[in-house]
Amino acid sequence: METARAIKVPRNSCLHPFYREAKMTHADIAVSFVELKRLAVSLLPRNSILRNLILSEPDYVPRQEGLVKVMVYSKILHQELRT
């Protein structure tokens, strides 16, 4: 079993201030959805289910959770482009 290592997050990182101050493991690092939200607003139509889903998310999510969400978003986008 691998032991989680604590890492220090640089102060100038794009992480939420709460995460910058804490010692966190690699699995705990949050990723920003802020830019993804900007893209959704500028590129997707107002009636897009994907757009509304992305905009309903918090600005910062744990890395693993964010990865799963982006994989789901890509499938929804592919489906929306088909129709």
Instruction: Report which of residues 20 and 32 the model is more confident about.
Output: 32
Domain boundaries, the chain: 32-82
Q: Are 49 and 38 in contact (CB under 8 A)?
A: no
Instruction: Report which of residues 10 and 78 the model is more confident about.
Output: 78
Up-side HSE of residue 33: CA atoms within 13 Å toward CB?
22
**What is the C-alpha to C-alpha distance for residues 1 and 9, in angstroms, rounded to an integer?**
24
pLDDT digits (tens, 9 = 90+) for 21-55: 555 566 568 999 999 999 999 999 999 999 999 99
Cβ within 8 Å of residue 49, ≥6 positions away: 76, 80
> Tokens 């964010």 appear where?
66
State the pTM of this model.
0.67
Mean pLDDT of the 53-62 span: 96
**What is the C-alpha to C-alpha distance for residues 50 and 36, in angstroms, rounded to an integer?**
11
